[in-house]
Each structure stands twice: as C-alpha cells, then as structure tokens.
Structure 1
Amino acid sequence: MIGLVLAAGAGRRLRPYTDTLPKALVPVGPEGAEDSLTVLDLTLGNFAAIGLTEVAVVVGYRKEAVYERKAALEARYGITLTLIDNPKAEEWNNAYSLWCAREVIRQGAILANGDTVHPVSVERTLLAARGQGRRIILALDTVKKLADEEMKVVTAPGEGVRRITKLMDPAEAAGEYIGVTLIEAEAATALADALRTTYERDPQLYYEDGYQELIDRGFTIDAVPIGEVPWVEIDNQADLAKGREIACQY
C-alpha cells in the first residue's frame, strides 16, 4: 500500500501564499517561522508514522515548487516520492486529478487531499477498519455540525455509503467526508472507470462524484467515523488560521 496526495490545486483564496505555491505547500506552522511545516509535510509525516515508505503526489499548479522540495521531503520522512503531473490542473476539477493516479492506486492506497490538516489517528482508524470485504473506506466526521459547503455523506445500515455530495440538506447526512480514503488494490480498476465516466460527463466534477458513480453502479463504499479529532480543510484564510492551531498540537 502507498500514500497518495492530491496536490494539484491552485487555492486562489489563499493568496498571496498561492501566488507562488500550490495549496499543499502553504505553511501551517507559526506565522513567520522559517522552514515552516506545510500541509504536505503533515500528511507525509502521517504516512511515515503508519509505516508507508512510498508516496505518490499528484501535482499541477506551481508544480515546480514540489519538484524543488522532493529530495528534502524524501530525506525528512524516509519515503520515496513519485510525482504525477496533472496537465489539466488549472482547467478541470479533481475527479481528473485522481484519475491521473490510477496506475499507482493499483497497489492499494491511502488517499489524502492536499489541503486537509488531520492527525495520524485518521489513517490508523482507516487501517483498523480493513477487512470483511471492504474495498473503499471513507474517513467520516460524525461530530461536526454541517452546513452547505461540507462534502456530506448519507449511509445506510449494511449498505455503506448511499450518497456523497455537497448538494444536500445537512440534516439528512450522517457526517462529513474529511478528504481521506483507504482504497484497496482490488477497487482500482472499477474506481478508475468511474472517475473517467465522471470527468468525461463534466470536467468540473469532484472525485467524490466518481465515488457516487461507483455507488450508483452497485459498488459498496464504506465509511468509518474518526471520532472527535481536530482537523480542517484549508480553503481560505480563516481555515488557515485554524490549521495553524491544529498543526501545533501534533
């Protein structure tokens, strides 16, 4: 199994940082600190802590910044990094970005969005949930109060995830998908096909829409609660401030 990070996005709401950096390299350490940790650092640290030695990172916007840090990141975390170029990163949404990683997913992967600050307990929860025929397992926050922007999930007993979308009444949802997934190797072919169908239908769709395509085809996707843990998806300056508060707890 490998680690996989989607780090191709621009994150324009985080300017001026993202004038020169992809969102995954925005610093989340104390403001002004030299060599501050980034979201990518935290994610790679999580992967190393659970014993992963190979990580693939999908890059696009300002990808040269990731290439420049590749050797240093490999040395710091004791991993081998494979960088996968997404040529459509600034035009299309992340369903295509995940499809670009379809070959490495064949090894089995723990996927983490490049803008999610979260503790390693999330990865450990996913690993503990493996088995019993589960092929794709989503990390689900069942504690947070939901609003319109969250990626909401509806589950059903014995059936796993039934819906995953931002476009639903928050009251209907079991929780929020936090952007971390365990994907077993045997799910790779079906997932790649669903992702292709999704981005060909509309290049602006999310990879979670690819998950929904799989579900609609009869594929069971499972979800596991992560408990009450600090995490944040960093989309704007307020999220970044929260990310810094959380990162200093690790």
Structure 2
Amino acid sequence: MIGLVLAAGAGRRLRPYTDSLPKALVPVGPAGIEGEPTVLDLTLGNFAEIGLTEVAVVVGYRKEAVYARKAALEAKYGLKLTLIDNDKAEEWNNAYSLWCGRDALKDGVILANGDTVHPVSVEKTLLAARGEGKRIILALDTVKPLADEEMKVVVDPAKGSMTKITKLMDPAEATGEYIGVTLIEGDAAPELADALKTVWETDPQQFYEHGYQELVDRGFRIDVAPIGDIAWVEIDNHDDLARGREIACQY
C-alpha cells in the first residue's frame, strides 16, 4: 500500500499565498511563513508514521513548486515520491485529478486531499478497519455539526455502508461528513477508475466523491470508519487556514 495525495488545486480563496503556490504548499505553521510545515508536509508525515514508503502526488496548478521541493521532502520523510501531472487542474475538478492517479490505485492507497489537516489517528483508524472484504473505506466525522458546504454522507445503519455522498443534502439527513481521506484496496482500482471516467466525461466539474456515488449506484459497497472526536479542517479560505494553524500545532 502507498500514499496518494491530490495536490493539484489552485486554492484561489487563499490568495496571496496561492499566487505562487498550490494550496497543498500553503504554510500552516503559526507564523504562516515560507519554510514552515505545509498541508503536504503534515500528510507525508502521517504516511511515514504508519510505515508507508512510497507516495504518489497528483500535481497541477503551480506544480513547479512541488517539483522543486520533491528531493527535500523525500529526504525529510524517508519516502519515495512520484509526481503525477494533471494537465486540466486549472480547468476541471478533482474527479479528473483522482482519475489521473488511477495507476497508483492498483497498489492500494490511502488517499488524502491536499487541503485537509488531520492527525495520524485518521490513517490508523482506516488501517484498523481493513478486512472482511472491505474494498473502499471512507474516514467519516460523525461528531461535527454539519452545514451546506460539507461533503455529507448517509450510511445504511443495518449494513454500515455508504448509500449517499453529496454536499447537496439536508444536513439533518446525513450520518456524518467525509473528511477527504480514504483507504482504497488495489482490487477496487479498475472499478473506481471506470466510475471516475464516467463522472468526469459527463461533467468535468464534478468532485471525485461523485465517483464514489457512481460506484454505489452500480452496486459496489463502500464502507465507512468513524474517526471519533478529533480536530481536523479542510482548508478552503483564510478562516480555515487560521483554524488549520491552530490544529497543526497540536500534532
């Protein structure tokens, strides 16, 4: 199993940081200055802590900044990094971005969004949930209050598997929020890649979570693993970034 990070996004709401950096390289240290840990640093640190030795990173917007740091990141975390170019990063949404990483999926991956600050307990929870035929497992926050922006998930209480994933849902109907981290077993790769292709060919602006919904609609089982009451944040804007810096200090 390897790590896979989606780090192709522009993060326009985080300007001026993202004038020259992809969102995954915005500093999340307390002073917010160049050279401090980034979301990508924190994710690679998590992957190294659980024993992964290889990580694929999908890059696009300002990808030269990731290429420039590749050797230093490999040395710092003891990981072999493979960078995968997304040529549509500034035009299309992340369903296509994850599809660009489809070859990496064959090894089995822990997938992490490049804008999610979270503790290594999330990865450990996913690994502990493996087995019993589970092929895709979503990290699910069942504690946080939900609003319109969150990627909401409905879980079948009898089966414990996902039935619906979308932002466009009454929060009261949701079981919890998908936090942007997934364990994907290698034997799920062909079906997931095909579902993602269907999604981005239908609408290039769709999220990769629509690929998960496409799979479930085809009869594929997707499981969830509740992460407990932990601090994490998806960084979309400057308020999120301030929260991310608070959380990063804890880990």
- Give the TM-score normalised by the residue count of structure 1: 0.99
Structure 1 Cα separation of the partners of residues 160 and 117 of structure 2: 29
**What RMSD over aligned residues (CA atoms) do the two structures have, in Å?**
0.7
Partner of 2:190: 189
Partner of 1:43: 43
Structure 1 Cα separation of the partners of residues 32 and 117 of structure 2: 19
Provide the secondary structure at the position in 1 that maps to 2:76.
helix
Residue-by-residue CA offset, 1:112-162 (whole Å, 9 max, x unaligned): 000000000000000000000000000000000000000000000215000
Structure 1 Cα separation of the partners of residues 25 and 53 of structure 2: 20
Q: Please state if 1:153 is matched with 2:159.
A: no
Structure 1 Cα separation of the partners of residues 243 and 93 of structure 2: 25
Provide the secondary structure at the position in 2 that maps to 1:248.
helix
Q: Please state if 1:173 is matched with 2:174.
A: yes
Provide the secondary structure at the position in 1 that maps to 2:178.
strand
- Count of matched residue positions in the alignment of Structure 1 and Structure 2: 250
Provide the secondary structure at the position in 1 that maps to 2:82.
strand
Provide the secondary structure at the position in 1 that maps to 2:250.
coil
Q: Residue type of the partner of 1:43?
A: T
Q: Please state if 1:56 is matched with 2:56.
A: yes
Task: Assess, with a 3 A threshold, how the Cα gap between structure 1 residues 34 and 204 changes in structure 2: closer, same or farther.
Answer: closer
5+ residue gaps, structure 1, are none
Q: Please state if 1:201 is matched with 2:202.
A: yes
Q: Please state if 1:230 is matched with 2:231.
A: yes
Q: Please state if 1:248 is matched with 2:249.
A: yes
Q: Is the 8 A contact 1:159 1:220 kept in 2?
A: no
Runs of 4+ in 1 over 4 A off after TM superposition: none
- Describe how 1:43-122 pairs up with structure 2 within 5 A: 43-122=43-122
Q: Residue type of the partner of 2:91?
A: E
Q: Is the 8 A contact 2:8 2:59 kept in 1?
A: yes
What fraction of aligned residue pairs are identical, expressed as a percent? 78
5+ residue gaps, structure 2, are none
Q: Is the 8 A contact 1:126 1:139 kept in 2?
A: yes
Residue-by-residue CA offset, 1:172-209 (whole Å, 9 max, x unaligned): 00000000000000100000000000000000000000
Q: Is the 8 A contact 2:28 2:36 kept in 1?
A: yes
Partner of 2:141: 141
Q: Is the 8 A contact 2:27 2:34 kept in 1?
A: no
- Give the TM-score normalised by the residue count of structure 2: 0.99
